[in-house]
Chain A
Amino acid sequence: SAVISQKPSRDICQRGTSLTIQCQVDSQVTMMFWYRQQPGQSLTLIATANQGSEATYESGFVIDKFPISRPNLTFSTLTVSNMSPEDSSIYLCSVARTGSLGYTFGSGTRLTVV
């Protein structure tokens, strides 16, 4: 299965600022996803990162708040913009290959907004 490197592993940020999270995969994957896990809760899908085109966002998530890039088949970034304390969560990258049954997760970025 793919190996994911997610950076940073954790950060403490001031409200009103933005943080960009990176997801690097050790092999080419067709699908990349970004999830949010609020404290004590399950994982919620933010968006599907599409190579060379705009990400596909789930209900309740918008591009202005969570811009996503995916320049190639091994790398994606998620930006959390204009942060507020409510954005304090774990953000996780996940990857899969079309036709494959494996979905692998990174170790997550633990974001605290103060």
Chain B
Amino acid sequence: GESVGLHLPTLSVQEGDNSIINCAYSNSASDYFIWYKQESGKGPQFIIDIRSNMDKRQGQRVTVLLNKTVKHLSLQIAATQPGDSAVYFCAERGNTDKLIFGTGTRLQVFP
């Protein structure tokens, strides 16, 4: 079957290590950001979000960092597991309600 993320940048990490996935966004007026995980054959799944009035937000094993000065977003996954293998997308909401997606990164976790 087809695979999501064949042509996307790939990050390979060893199981148990921490992963950092980066994203540059384009619109300085964006007020809300979301990280999604997409496994092969599925739609994007919400991981964590952050508003523009924050610079850090933590979830379970995940942390999102926002640097508005350089329009940069990162997703940190602690103690990466094989089930974390997927394609990860950042998305931004600008001055409309539309959600615009970044390029995406494929995360590969090896034992």
Contact = CB atoms under 8 A, between A and B. Distances in A.
Contact of A42 (B45, B89, B97): B89
Contacts, number: 61
A41 interface: yes
A106 B7 contact: no
A105 B8 contact: no
Chain A at the B interface: SS class: strand
A107 B100 CA distance: 18
B46 A102 contact: yes
Interface residues of A, number: 27
Given A45-B100, A96-B97, A40 B4 contact: yes
B63 to A, nearest CB: 18
Contacts of A28: none
Interface in A99-114: 101-108, 110
B44 A105 contact: yes
Given A41-B7, A96-B97, A106 B32 contact: no
Contacts of A110: 2, 41
B2 A43 contact: no
B42 A39 contact: no
Dominant SS at the B interface? loop
A108 B100 contact: no
A108 B6 contact: no
Contact of B101 (A6, A44, A101, A108): A44
22 contacts: A35-B101, A39-B2, A39-B6, A40-B6, A41-B104, A42-B8, A42-B89, A42-B101, A42-B102, A43-B44, A43-B89, A45-B98, A92-B43, A92-B44, A96-B99, A101-B51, A102-B46, A103-B91, A103-B99, A105-B43, A105-B45, A106-B43
